Amino acid sequence: MARYQGQEFDVVVTELRLDSGSGLDLIRQIRETDDCASAVVVTQYADMAAAVATLREGATDFLAKPFRLTSSAPLCTAPSVAGPSAKAATNSV
State the helix-helix crossing angle for 23-33 and 48-56, rounded to 10 degrees.
10
Share of the chain above pLDDT 70, in %: 67
Mean pLDDT (whole number) for 67-75 = 60
Q: What is the CATH number of the domain that holds 26?
A: 3.40.50.2300
Number of folded domains in the chain? 1
Mean pLDDT (whole number) for 82-86 = 40
What is the pLDDT confidence band of residue 75, given thresholds at 50, 70 and 90? low
Residue 68, domain member (yes or no): yes
72 vs 42, more confident:
42
Residue 24, domain member (yes or no): yes
Distance of alpha carbon 13 from the chain centroid: 3
Spell out the long-range contacts of 23-27 with Cβ–Cβ below 8 A and sequence spacing 24 or more: 23/54, 23/91, 24/53, 24/54, 24/57, 26/1, 26/91, 27/54, 27/57, 27/58, 27/59
Residue 46, domain member (yes or no): yes
46 is in which domain, residue-wise? 15-75
Note the pLDDT of residue 15. Answer: 92
Residue 26, domain member (yes or no): yes
Residue 80, domain member (yes or no): no
Note the pLDDT of residue 1. Answer: 58
